Amino acid sequence: MYAPTDRTRLRRLPERGSYDRQAVHAILDEGFLCHVGFVLDDGRPCVIPTGYARAGETLYLHGSTGSRLGLRPGMDVCVGVTLLDGIVLARSAFHHSMNYRSVVVFGRARRVSDPREKEEALGALVEHIVPGRGADVRPGDRKELASTAVLAVPLDEVSAKVRRGDPVDEEEDYDLPVWAGVLPLEPTPGAPVPDPRLDPAVPLPAYVTGWRRARSAAGE
């Protein structure tokens, strides 16, 4: 279990919160995109969407060395990941909601400068999105690696929040002649579209045709 802190303790609907390490990891491993919040040098808040990957108790964030995120190693950040599982349609406008699984991480970002750790983190980012892809592609060269920033955020201050289930209406509204229920949502891949410059002799990899995003146990 992650130990709750003043920053991670849920204040609204705390019954939806979880500090279970396995549940947090499952949500992070299922997601692709995170939003990183931080404060600019002039005091203005900023939120940047970016790719990420988890390796043990570290969250690796991908960016450019010239980006607002890449230029500020050593800063305090708040990282959010949300998986949307369904739209909850209630009988009243007030009680409409969404079924979701989310994780919020607070921590201080560290610039990954060690070449081996950086290479492993970038490899983890590729494998996180499409498992098996890393073995096929050309690794980054010196110029590409120099222009890529990787930030590491320790999974120390972490909490998860999950909403699942049916609408919760006021008791007097259950007799209203209004349809209520849940519209489930999940990512479904379409047919792969080849690059126009792709050599027709290059076969379509099985990891592309068979790609599926496995639902984590936290979403059951």
- The residue whose two tokens read 């990183």 is 36
Mean pLDDT over 126-149 rounds to 89
What is the per-residue pLDDT for 24?
Answer: 95
- Which of 7-11, 135-139, 199-203 ranks highest by mean pLDDT? 199-203
φ/ψ region of 32 (left if φ > 0, alpha if ψ in -120 to 50, else beta) reads alpha
Residue 216 is classified by DSSP as: P
Is a pLDDT exceeding 90 seen at residue 13?
Answer: no
3-state secondary structure 59-111: EEEEEECCCCCCCCCCCEEEEEEEEEEEEEECCCHHHCEEEEEEEEEEEECEE
> To the nearest whole number, what is the mean pLDDT of the chain?
90
Segment 152-192, tens digit of pLDDT: 999 999 999 999 999 999 999 999 999 999 999 988 899 99
Asked whether the whole model's pTM tops 0.75, one would answer yes
Segment 79-103, tens digit of pLDDT: 999 999 999 999 999 999 999 999 9
Contact 84, 185 (CB under 8 A): yes
Is a pLDDT exceeding 90 seen at residue 64?
Answer: no
**H or E stretch including 33?**
strand 33-39
217 confidence band (pLDDT: 50, 70, 90) = low
Segment 21-30, tens digit of pLDDT: 999 999 999 9
Domain boundaries, the chain: 14-219
Which amino acid belongs to residue 127? E
Which amino acid belongs to residue 210? G
Two structure tokens written together for 44 = 């203005």
* Dihedral angle over CA of 109, 111, 117, 121, nearest 10: 60
Homologous superfamily, domain 14-219: Electron Transport, Fmn-binding Protein; Chain A (2.30.110.10)
Q: Which residue in 56, 51, 29, 61 sits closest to 152, CA to CA?
A: 61
* Interatomic CA distance for residues 83 and 10, integer angstroms: 18
Is a pLDDT exceeding 50 seen at residue 220?
Answer: no
Of 11-15, 113-117, 123-127, 186-190, least confident by mean pLDDT is 11-15
219 confidence band (pLDDT: 50, 70, 90) = very low
What is the per-residue pLDDT for 218?
Answer: 45
